């Protein structure tokens, strides 16, 4: 799972990702962890004045 981080000029300047085997990230938790990644990217993008 990965998502981009944007700067104030709407350029992708980084990404946050997580990975693991099914034992570490069971299928029923994928949506939960995806939300955490997206929230972290949005928060960082906001700090970089993207939004």
Tell me the pLDDT tens digit for each residue of 19-37: 999 899 999 999 999 999 9
| Averaged pLDDT for residues 8-28 | 94
The pLDDT value recorded for residue 50 is: 84
| Averaged pLDDT for residues 38-49 | 96
**Distances in whole angstroms, Cα of residue 17 to Cα of each of 7, 9, 11, 14, 41:** 18, 22, 18, 10, 10
| Averaged pLDDT for residues 1-7 | 97
Give the HSE-up count for residue 2: Cα atoms under 13 Å, Cβ half-sphere: 7
């Amino acid at each position: 799972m990965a998502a981009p981080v944007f700067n104030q000029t709407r350029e992708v300047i980084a990404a946050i990702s997580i990975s693991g085997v099914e034992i570490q990230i069971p299928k029923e938790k994928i949506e939960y962890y995806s939300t955490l990644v997206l929230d972290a990217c949005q928060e960082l993008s906001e700090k970089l004045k993207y939004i």
